[in-house]
Amino acid sequence: MMQSTAAVAHAPAGAVSTCLAAFGEWLRRHSRVVARVQWIVVVAYAVLIGVPAFLPLPPDEARWFNNLTVFAQWAFWGVWWPFVIVSMFVVGRAWCGLFCPEGTLTEAASRVGLGRGVPRWLKWGGWPFVAFTLTTIFGQLVSVYQYPAATLLVLGGSTVAAIGVGLVYGRGKRVWCRHLCPVNGVFAVLSRTAPLHFRVDAAAWTANAGRIPIHPVNCAPLVRIRRMTGPSECHMCGRCSGLRGAIALEARSPSVEIATLPPSLARGWDAALIVFGMIGLAVGAFEWSTLRAFGELRAFAVAHIVDQGPAWLLADNAPWWLLTHYPEAHDVFTWLDGALIVAWIVATALIVGGWVSAWLAAAARSIGGAWRANAYALAYTLIPLAGVGLFVGLSGLPAALAHSEGLRLSWLAPARAVLLAAAAAWSMYLAYRWVDGRSRRGEEERLSPSRRIAALLAMTIANAGVLAAWYPYVFR
Ligand code: SF4
């Protein structure tokens, strides 16, 4: 009780602050309730991911209320995945800490596993980018959104890997979530815009050393709590709430962390994930199947191969766990299809990501100083546009499902356009605040108005390029 009172005392005045701090304390005190909810989610996840994979494909007239496979499709891809992305903008990584079945399972496995230390190779900063890239491309090859066997393969495979990592590394920790989860990097960058976080009051931490008894805290995602400055790595589990009377759930401006990010703290791998992964790769992955140009390229390639060979490229004998293979649904990929899909997605990522990178570099050079670090920091200003782009892309499957339910969605394209435009405006506001703050901090020299305008113009062109890349998907 002593700690909880102290935590509330350090929160800013106001009913909202008091309620937030109290809720953080509630999370800490009711860890058993949280654990029960987590295991209920695990059971629901296991049923929805496992059972449909062994059922026949649903007939055309199947609906969510009379067919488990269609219900699971809605649950995973219509509701869960798009709205987990949205939740990062609102409550940070609360999904990870309070609900995620993989987090629950890997932590449970880690309690009874070998308890080994985390090796260096697992801490490599590029894993979030590599894991997201490979999972996104593989998901397209096996049609993860369409078929329950593919869903079991991708999500179930990830879950098995999470349990395996838990059984080997850490003691009651979430080593998988911290280093290898395919969406860890995406969630980490999106939650930088979260208006809620567990704030560490450094002065109170120091002042209360030895005065307030410390309750033992198991921070499962291995956050260095004392040095925590934002919700990027924190899973919002609340276990450290009130620690030393210095930690409380608090509100903040959703723009403050990115607008004030020092270039020295900007990470190159985060910038790559935002620019080439969440923007470039996502555009390619969501758009290829909707574009006439892809169909024309495929027809051209088929005609060429029929004339010149090699004929095996047109064979459709790949197993379902490598390329989509559902003859009963008249949906079968040839080896050529697989190669074209990978090439299309990678080329789109390079073109769109390359465009954005070039203008980030131009903006950073306008600012002067360490241009590479500045470019990395400016990449974070694109997080709203990258995150909303993911949401818009993911809205494709629920839209298709709703269409099959007989719903007409004439408002969908304008709604997507408005969302992307609003996100681009937020990204530009962040860029303005970041450049303005850098100018006022004046680390090297005060920025002249012309250099500031040049930097913001370059950022405008970068944002416009992303909007243009999403145009065909929005108005298909
Ligand atoms: S820092 Fe760790 S213990 Fe504290 S809320 Fe975040 S995840 Fe939980």
In tens, the pLDDT along 23-37 reads: 999 999 999 999 999
Contact of 83 with 89, CB cutoff 8 Å: no
Segments of 34-74 assigned E as strands? none
What's the confidence (pLDDT) of residue 7?
44
320-338: pLDDT as tens digits: 999 999 999 999 999 999 9
* Cβ of 228 below 6 Å from ligand 1: yes
Mean pLDDT of the chain: 92
Query: Is the shortest distance between the CB of 177 and ligand 1 below 6 Å?
Result: no
The protein residue with its alpha carbon nearest to ligand 1, atom 8, reads 237
Ligand 1 and 217: CB distance under 6 A: yes
Atom of ligand 1 nearest to the CA of 198: 5
Side chain identity at residue 96, one-letter code: C
**Least trusted range by pLDDT, from 284-293, 340-349, 440-449:** 440-449
> Which pLDDT score, from 0 to 100, does residue 442 have?
53
| Nearest residue to 105 (alpha-carbon basis) of 34, 30, 159, 154 | 159
User: In the structure, what pLDDT confidence band is assigned to residue 449 with cuts at 50, 70 and 90?
Assistant: confident
For helices 449-474 and 335-367, the axis angle rounded to 10 degrees is 160
Given a cut of 50, whether residue 11 has pLDDT beyond it is no
Percent of the chain whose pLDDT exceeds 90:
80
Tell me if 25 sits within 8 A of 242, measured CB to CB: yes
- 91 in Cβ contact with 194 (< 8 Å): yes
Residue 13 pLDDT greater than 80, yes or no: no
Q: How far is the CA of 255 from the centre of ligand 1 (A)?
A: 21
Distance 245 CA to ligand 1 centre (A): 15
pLDDT tens-digit series, residues 255-312 = 999 999 999 999 999 999 999 999 999 999 999 999 999 999 999 999 999 999 899 9
Helices (H), 309-404: 335-367, 371-380, 383-394, 396-404
Confidence category of residue 4, pLDDT binned at 50, 70, 90: very low
State the distance from the centre of ligand 1 to the C-alpha of 231, rounded, in angstroms: 9
The amino acid at residue 249 is L
Lowest mean per-residue pLDDT among 57-66, 108-117, 409-418, 440-449 = 440-449
- Where residue 68 falls among pLDDT bands split at 50, 70, 90? very high
Best mutation site among 225, 227, 247, 250 for ligand 1 pocket (most ligand atoms within 8 Å of CB): 225
Residue 191 Cα to ligand 1 middle (Å) = 14
Confidence of residue 417 (pLDDT cuts 50, 70, 90): very high
pLDDT at position 443 over 70: no
Q: Ligand 1 centre from 65 Cα, in Å?
A: 38
Pairing assessment for the beta strands 247-251 and 325-326 based on DSSP bridges: unpaired
Q: Is the CB of 238 under 6 A from ligand 1?
A: yes
- Rounded to an integer, the average pLDDT of 59-75 is 90
Whether 106 shows a pLDDT value over 50: the answer reads: yes
Say if residue 5's pLDDT is above 50.
no
Cis amide leading into 101 (omega within 30): no
Whole-number pLDDT of residue 2: 39
Tell me the whole-structure pTM to 2 decimals.
Answer: 0.93
Instruction: List the one residue out of 264, 250, 219 whose CA is nearest residue 110.
Output: 219
Beta bridge partners of 250: 197
Q: E strands of 211-299, at which residues? A: 247-251
Nearest-CA residue for ligand 1 atom 3 is 219
Cα(316)–Cα(239) distance, integer angstroms: 52
- Candidates 174, 236, 244, 250: which one to mutate for ligand 1, based on the most atoms within 8 Å of Cβ? 236
